[in-house]
């Protein structure tokens, strides 16, 4: 199939039209994390979150986009790493990015110096952003706004490449988030240990490595064939995000 190749230009991802995983995907990430927490971490998180669960707060950072007081977080959902470069060699967004933010929040949560309200807020940020960075198009390379400018058809309906990876492929399965969490790639114990030992930069590199897959859109008429080939990548990324989120939370609170 003809491939649309990434260019090496920097881009600014307009996040009011670009979400990651949608509600179902983010909640599946949260539920997978819940299943891999230590008992100590579960108890501590219950104290912090109160009646809410990780799966339910996983979409909070997208929901507060309507609150202008959170406009400063808009660029935290994504990062640009140009093709052929690594993160350190790529231009940095002065407003921050998903890698900077995850690394900073982990340090601040580990410090134990945050107020209760700030700790809750940072925890919600972390839960969401670990999901975001595992969506390949949130590690951008091009001037296509993370695939939002690449218009495609999804089963003859207008869509764009970003939306296909966020939600179209997931929604087409007609799985709830709990069913999706059961249907994702199931890692071995050794894989879980390996995934949880890898840092944020490696997660971003994995998303970059999927670019040839993501942009393999041919004539832009996507449906069964594209989903058959690449839904497994979506499921694995969701699994990795949940497992790694649990690893971080166990490290902080376990």
Q: pLDDT tens across 100-116, in order?
A: 999 999 999 999 999 99
Give residue-wise pLDDT tens across range 183-240.
999 999 999 999 999 999 999 999 999 999 999 999 999 999 999 999 999 999 999 9
**pTM score, whole prediction:** 0.92
Does 243 reside within a domain? yes
| Residue 85 pLDDT greater than 50, yes or no | yes
| Residue 64 pLDDT greater than 80, yes or no | yes
| Residue 12 pLDDT greater than 50, yes or no | no
Q: Tokens 């994390």, residue? A: 33
Rounded mean pLDDT of 93-100?
96
pLDDT confidence of residue 19: 65
Q: Which domain holds residue 179?
A: 15-253
Does 233 reside within a domain? yes
Beta strands in 99-174 (DSSP E): 139-140, 151-154, 157-160
Which sign does the torsion angle of CA 154, 158, 163, 167 carry? Answer: negative
Does 10 reside within a domain? no
The proportion of the chain whose per-residue pLDDT surpasses 70, expressed as a percent, equals 93
Does 3 reside within a domain? no
CATH classification of the domain holding 176 = 1.10.575.10
Q: Show Cβ contacts of residue 237 under 8 Å, excluding neighbours closer than 6 positions.
A: 134, 135, 136, 206, 207, 210
Please tell me the total count of domains within the chain.
Answer: 1
Does 53 reside within a domain? yes
Does 8 reside within a domain? no
Rounded mean pLDDT of 121-138?
98
Q: Which two tokens stand for residue 86?
A: 């690594």
């Amino acid at each position: 199939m003809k491939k649309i190749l990434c260019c090496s230009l920097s881009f600014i991802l307009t996040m009011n039209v670009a979400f990651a995983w949608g509600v179902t995907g983010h909640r599946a990430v949260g539920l997978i994390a819940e299943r891999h927490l230590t008992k100590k971490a579960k108890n501590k998180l219950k104290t912090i979150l109160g009646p809410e669960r990780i799966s339910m707060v996983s979409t909070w950072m997208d929901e507060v986009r309507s609150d202008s007081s959170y406009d400063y977080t808009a660029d935290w959902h994504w990062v640009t790493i140009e093709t052929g470069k690594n993160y350190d060699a790529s231009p940095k967004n002065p407003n921050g990015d998903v890698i900077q933010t995850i690394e900073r929040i982990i340090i601040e949560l580990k410090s134990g110096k945050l107020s209760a309200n700030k700790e809750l807020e940072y925890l919600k940020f972390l839960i969401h952003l670990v999901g975001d960075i595992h969506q390949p198009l949130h590690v951008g390379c091009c001037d296509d706004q993370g695939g939002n400018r690449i218009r495609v058809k999804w089963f003859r309906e207008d869509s764009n490449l970003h939306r296909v990876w966020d939600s179209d492929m997931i929604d087409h399965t007609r799985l709830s988030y709990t069913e999706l969490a059961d249907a994702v790639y199931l890692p071995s114990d050794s894989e879980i240990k390996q995934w949880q030992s890898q840092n944020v930069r490696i997660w971003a590199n994995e998303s970059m490595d999927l670019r040839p897959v993501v942009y393999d859109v041919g004539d832009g008429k996507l449906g069964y064939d594209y989903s058959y080939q690449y839904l497994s990548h979506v499921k694995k990324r969701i699994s990795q995000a949940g497992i790694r989120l649990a690893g971080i939370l166990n490290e902080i609170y376990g």
